[in-house]
Structure 1
């Protein structure tokens, strides 16, 4: 039996701004169709897509033009209070998985994570709680520990493990464990910045639900009957 999607903007009478939410297509390597499981308090913006076995937890904010596509690597989990900003892409490789809490995932993202504009999160990967992934960065085939800060235009890959609370500098390529082990602690100003981004984005899901709960035309301008 197919899972139901619990998501406010799927109700056509209430919101003309609907993201694309769908089961994965049937393929030779995945003959089971699974719909996303999206908490009713999460908010998916216009022009986003969520496909396949994806769990979106409470108070998650997903900005416009995000693609979360579990049609090859699967499943994906996105933890509570996480924000995924404009033009972020989630995808995963077939049969390449990480293990966490006795289960296997293509992508696992913890709670209170920030994935900033334009980042690529590609499975297999694990991103722990309160991690910050900067603009246009790539996390692929990696495990990122709790509280780490990945700066703008950085790459974390090749099976590395980033320890908790470590700082990946802007433009860095962390592709060996030796590089990962040499990373320093997060500077205070970057930690404060990450916390402020979280504070701001955690207000968005409830606020956008109220805002786009109004009737609107295709241009997004609210109107009255």
Structure 2
């Protein structure tokens, strides 16, 4: 379902994206090529002067919530995965080739490229440099805590890539099914 917001803005979605019929996308939202938006995802840029940009090759999995507060923006870089049930709340910028794990909450922060926010983590009011890993369940809301974060390992880099590839395959598969109908 795609809806206009109170400011009369409608989502702009690439014809090369695949959006589930049960996803709800409201307002000033831009979705790029090869983006997969799964079932029951909610993407809301409905408050005044809010916007959301989901770049090419991203995946927004089941039950993800993305919301931008008034006068804020959510930017999600290319080839980023938002896993089942996570919440991304603006203001927020997530870099290229990132992963935000199951049930994680990301709010009022900047996350650098190639970073993983693992499952059930909370990231708030900090800047995370490129290539870091926020472990499962960690709550991080002090900039000083960033110094203790580990670096992305080759196996985690492969994991992130495999999630993106699987979801681009889903985009292509679902689009092929729609063409058959």
TM-score by length of 1: 0.77
Partner of 1:21: 2
Partner of 1:189: 155
Unaligned runs of 5+ in 2: none
Partner of 1:219: none
Partner of 2:23: 48
CA offsets, 1:61-114, max 9 Å, x none?
Answer: 00100000111161110000000100000112222x3xxxxxxxx100010000
Question: What is the CA distance between 1:23 and its match in structure 2?
Answer: 0.9
Partner of 2:167: 201
Secondary structure of 1:212 counterpart: helix
Partner of 1:154: 121
CA offsets, 1:2-47, max 9 Å, x none?
Answer: xxxxxxxxxxxxxxxxxx101102xxxxxx3111110000000121
Unaligned runs of 5+ in 1: 1-19, 26-31, 98-105, 216-225
Is residue 2:101 matched to residue 1:125?
A: no
How many equivalent pairs are there?
180
Is residue 2:52 matched to residue 1:85?
A: no
> What is the alpha-carbon distance in structure 1 between the residues aligned to residue 68 and residue 30 of structure 2?
15
CA offsets, 1:184-220, max 9 Å, x none?
Answer: 10133222211111111111112101213444xxxxx
> What is the alpha-carbon distance in structure 2 between the residues aligned to residue 213 and residue 48 of structure 1?
20
Partner of 1:169: 135
Of 51-60 and 182-191, deviating more is 182-191
Partner of 1:63: 38
TM-score by length of 2: 0.95
Runs of 4+ in 1 over 2 A off after TM superposition: 212-215
Between structures 1 and 2, the one with greater strand share: 2
Across the aligned residues of Structure 1 and Structure 2, the Cα RMSD in angstroms comes to 1.1
